[in-house]
Amino acid sequence: MVNLTINGQKVQAANGTTILKAAESIGIKIPTFCYDERLVAHGACRICVVEVAGARSLMASCTVPVTEGMIVQTHSPSVIETRKDILRLILANHPLDCLTCEKAGNCKLQDYCYEYDIKESGIVGTKKNYPIDDSNPFFSLDRNKCIMCGKCIRVDNELQCTGAINYNSRGFNTHVGIPYDRELEQSTCVSCGNCVSACPVGALSSKNHAKFRSWEVKTVRTTCSYCGVGCQMDLQVKDNKVVGVEPVNMAPNDGLLCVKGKYGYRFIDHPDRLKTPLIKKDGSFVAATWDEAYDLIADKMRNVKENYGSDAFGGFSSARCTNEENYLMQKLFRAVVGTNNIDHCARL
């Protein structure tokens, strides 16, 4: 263990802990853009700088491990002034279209500009002017809003490991792209949206099929309904409608999803959903009440059981349904119908 002082408070932290994490442990929040706890910190954005007594310059708290006796100021005047400068530099090349930006309310740049009272950049220089890459059906890439934190590139290359995007060009012209600066749709991108989930600003944003602001939605944690990995995700709900999905950073998926988990939720409120029981009459389906449907089924079941016995029934349960439902389905067939003719699609 290492003993240090942060903002006058004594802190104990394990060897190797970063200043950022040690501060977090006593409730001190340091701003970050490029930091992602799943990745080895690379200190690219510098917004997390802090003052360390005896150090020649401010240090990126996400990369510097704590040492014995260290004295840290996370919000000293020079730290705050530096963060303001960083924000001004970013804003010098960032459109101020928060009014219509998809990410408003869920944007770190917006949050920190508010926190540090930065209204405008005041720095005049060359402006980025990239066309918006709208080629992917699920999300768009607006490089004009990119703050070059590199998170999307690292998530793609080090966690998702698809390697579709990387840095193109050098210096001021550095930008996120694919080889030969073609459109995303011509890359090896698998549309998992993990870069979108990681983007701290509005550069990568989902093409939402319903308009919502982050403060208007409630989130409900659940398990993905596609493959057997069982990814944990938060459904974003507005007005009884699922409007988005965000991955959860915990086992088993650790903040990753695939294209089906991230964007395949749009079937939920599809107009084709079955909304009422249907009974086939003279070859076509007619809407019925639940009681009519249950009565018909129950009558038929009694009839078949009487005439042909319990083994004249076959039940197909479903790997799409919950444990509780599968349990009840086999119980219905075993305990009520009286047969073990119950199976599901495990083999298919």
167 binds another protein (CB under 8 A): no
Q: How far is the CB of 257 from another protein (least distance, A)?
A: 7
Binders of another protein in range 118-137 (CB under 8 A) = 137
Query: How crowded is residue 197: how many other Cβ atoms within 10 Å of its Cβ?
Result: 22
Report the C-alpha gap between 35 and 326 in whole angstroms.
43
Q: Does 232 bind another protein (CB under 8 A)?
A: yes
Choosing from 99, 126, 290, 306, the residue that interacts with another protein (CB under 8 A) is 290
Query: Using the rule CB under 8 A, which residue among 10, 77, 228, 306 binds another protein?
Result: 228
Residues 181-200 touching another protein, rule: CB under 8 A, are 190-192
208 touches another protein by CB under 8 A: no
Q: Which of 32, 87, 231, 246 binds another protein (CB under 8 A)?
A: 231
Supply angle C-alpha 305, 306, 312, rounded to 5. 35
Amino acid occupying residue 83? R
* 14 scored as a contact of another protein (CB under 8 A): no
State yes or no: residue 160 binds another protein (CB under 8 A): yes
**Lookup: tokens for 221:** 């944690």
In the complex, what is the shortest distance from the CB of residue 150 to another protein, in angstroms, rounded to a whole number? 17
Sheet-wide strand order for 232-238:
218-223, 232-238, 241-247
Farthest-apart Cα atoms in the chain, separation: 92
For another protein, the closer of residues 84 and 305 by Cβ is 305
Rounded CA separation 260/191 (Å): 9
> In this chain, which stretch among 64-72, 110-118, 125-133, 254-262 interacts with another protein, using CB under 8 A?
254-262
Closest CA to 149 of 28, 250, 48: 48
Q: Is 169 in the site for another protein (CB under 8 A)?
A: no
Which of residues 99 and 348 has its CB atom nearest to another protein in the complex?
A: 348
Distances (CA, A) of 268 to 39, 272, 325, 346: 34, 10, 19, 24
Residue 286 found at the interface with another protein (CB under 8 A)? no
**300-329: contacts with another protein (CB under 8 A):** 300-302, 304, 308, 310-329
Q: Which helix (H) or strand (E) holds 87?
A: helix 77-91
Taking the C-alpha atoms of residue 263 and residue 282, their distance in angstroms, rounded to an integer, is 40
User: Residues touching another protein: how many (CB under 8 A)?
Assistant: 108
With contact defined as beta carbons under 8 Å apart, do 43 and 33 qualify? no
Angle at 86 between CA 98 and CA 183, to 5 degrees: 55
Which residue of 161, 170, 171, 180 would you call a contact of another protein, by CB under 8 A?
161
Q: Does 285 bind another protein (CB under 8 A)?
A: yes
Q: How far apart are CA 236 and CA 219, in angstroms?
A: 5
Residue 335 sits in the site that holds another protein (CB under 8 A): yes
Contact between 152 and another protein per CB under 8 A: no
224's CB contacts (< 8 A; 6+ apart) are: 230, 231, 232, 233, 257, 260, 261
- Nearer to another protein by Cβ, of 69 and 338: the residue is 338
User: 128 is written with which tokens?
Assistant: 């980025």
Binders of another protein among 15-44, rule CB under 8 A?
none
Residues 71-90 interacting with another protein (rule: CB under 8 A): none
Residues making up the chain, counted from first to last: 348
- Residue 158 binds another protein (CB under 8 A): yes
Nearer of residues 1 and 348 to another protein, judged by Cβ: 348
| Interacting residues with another protein between 47 and 66 (CB under 8 A) | none
- Residue 95 or 137: the one with the smaller Cβ distance to another protein is 137
Give the pair of three-digit tokens for residue 328.
């009840």
Find the part of the chain contacting another protein (CB under 8 A) among 15-23, 49-57, 64-72, 247-255. Answer: 247-255
**Which of the ranges 26-34, 85-93, 104-112, 237-245 carries the binding residues for another protein, by CB under 8 A?**
237-245
On whether the CB atoms of residues 208 and 195 are closer than 8 A, the answer is no
